[in-house]
Amino acid sequence: MRLGPQPSTARLVAILLITAFLSTQSPAQTTRSKSTENGQKSNKGSSAVATSELKVSESEMRNSIERYAVDRGSLMRSYPVAISSARRDRFKKFYSDWLGSLLQLDFDTMSQDGKIDYLLFKNHLEYELRQLDIQSRQLAEIQFLIPFAKTIIDLEETKNRLMNDAMRLKLVYDRRDELVTAALSRCV
């Protein structure tokens, strides 16, 4: 005996997928524990690192990788909706541009550290591009289950744009108030 309408399996799957895809993705920032010279982990409570523990990186890739990480973080904040086609398109261009600029570098003239960083960075960029393709195919497969997803994504992107515009507008008004206050204090 049925007590009421039961949700179909397809609807339950759609709800689970939407919940998973609409969650905002951001890079995890973790810290790794320092190792001592004998290979055991240090139990120091302080976050300060002794100068003797620091090793100066000689990799030619260091500045590029650091700039990449900053740019990627900025893009993730600018495009927070994980399943947005605008985000996928922008990240595909971002990863492709970085891969193109990486391939223009002279691998043979790099130090050992530079070569290792080059290969790891290249593999990372290729992996991210493959992940975007996989995500596109997955979304295409479930699109019929979630016909309202585009509406929700558009609303979320519009909300984020309006919030960014509001913050910029607040900064302009705050600066205007500072200038008016300064001008009035000079007149008095």
pLDDT at 31: 40
Is the dihedral angle over the CA atoms 21, 24, 26, 32 positive or is it negative? negative
pLDDT at 161 over 60: yes
34 pLDDT exceeds 60? no
Structure tokens at 39: 């290979």
CA distances from residue 106 to 66, 67, 97, 124, 184 in whole angstroms, order as listed: 19, 19, 17, 19, 59
Distance CA(135)–CA(143), nearest Å, equals 12
Instruction: Kindly state the percentage of the chain with pLDDT values over 90.
Output: 36
pLDDT at residue 129 greater than cutoff 90: yes
Per residue in 47-77, pLDDT (tens digit) is 455 555 555 657 899 999 999 999 999 999 8
DSSP secondary structure string for all residues of 129-188 = HHHHHHHHHHHHHHGGG-TTHHHHHHHHHHHHHHHHHHHHHHHHHHHHHHHHHHHHHHH-
pTM: 0.58
pLDDT reported for residue 64: 94
Instruction: Average the pLDDT over 117-139 and give the result.
Output: 95
Q: How many residues does the chain have?
A: 188
Q: Give the separation between CA 75 and CA 83, rounded to whole angstroms.
A: 14
pLDDT digits (tens, 9 = 90+) for 89-111: 999 999 999 999 999 999 999 99
81 pLDDT tier (thresholds 50, 70, 90) = confident
* Residues whose CB falls within 8 Å of the CB of residue 118, separated by 6 or more in sequence, listed in order: 61, 102, 105, 107, 110
| The pLDDT value given to residue 8 | 59
Q: Exposure of 125 by Cβ count < 10 A (0-12 exposed, 13-18 middle, 19+ buried)?
A: buried
Token representation of residue 76: 């993730």
Q: Give the orientation angle of helix 9-22 with respect to helix 112-142, to 10 degrees.
A: 150
Whole-angstrom distance, CA of residue 143 vs CA of residue 89 = 18
What does the pLDDT read at residue 169? 72
